[in-house]
Amino acid sequence: MTRNDLCWCGSGKKYKKCHLAFDERLNAIKLDIFKGQVRPSKKIINNEEEIEEIRQSGTINDGALNTVADMIRPGIDTLTLNDAAHEYIVQHGGIPACLDYEGYPKSICISINEVVCHGIPSKKTILKEGDIVNVDITTIFHGYYADASRMFMIGEVSPAAEHLVRIAKECMELGIEAVRPWHFLGDIGAAVEAHAHKHGYSVVTQLGGHGVGKSFHEEPFVPHVGEVDTGMLLVPGMVLTVEPMINAGKYKVVTDKNDGWTVTTKDKSWSAQWEKTILVTETGTEIMSS
CA–CA gap between residue 268 and residue 123 (Å, rounded): 23
Taking the mean position of all CA atoms in its chain, how far away is CA 117?
A: 12
CA–CA gap between residue 131 and residue 271 (Å, rounded): 11
C-alpha dist (Å) from residue 254 to 126, 128, 193, 251, 259:
23, 24, 21, 10, 12
pLDDT tens readout for residues 91-142 = 999 999 999 999 999 999 999 999 999 999 999 999 999 999 999 999 999 9
CA–CA gap between residue 67 and residue 261 (Å, rounded): 24
pLDDT tens readout for residues 158-214 = 999 999 999 999 999 999 999 999 999 999 999 999 999 999 999 999 999 999 999
The phi and psi torsions of 153 (rounded to 5 degrees) equal -105, 125
pLDDT tens readout for residues 46-105 = 999 999 999 999 999 999 999 999 999 999 999 999 999 999 999 999 999 999 999 999
What pLDDT score does 1 carry?
A: 85
CA–CA gap between residue 61 and residue 56 (Å, rounded): 9
Which residues is 286 bridged to in the sheet? 279
Domains in the chain, ordered, with CATH?
32-289 (3.90.230.10)
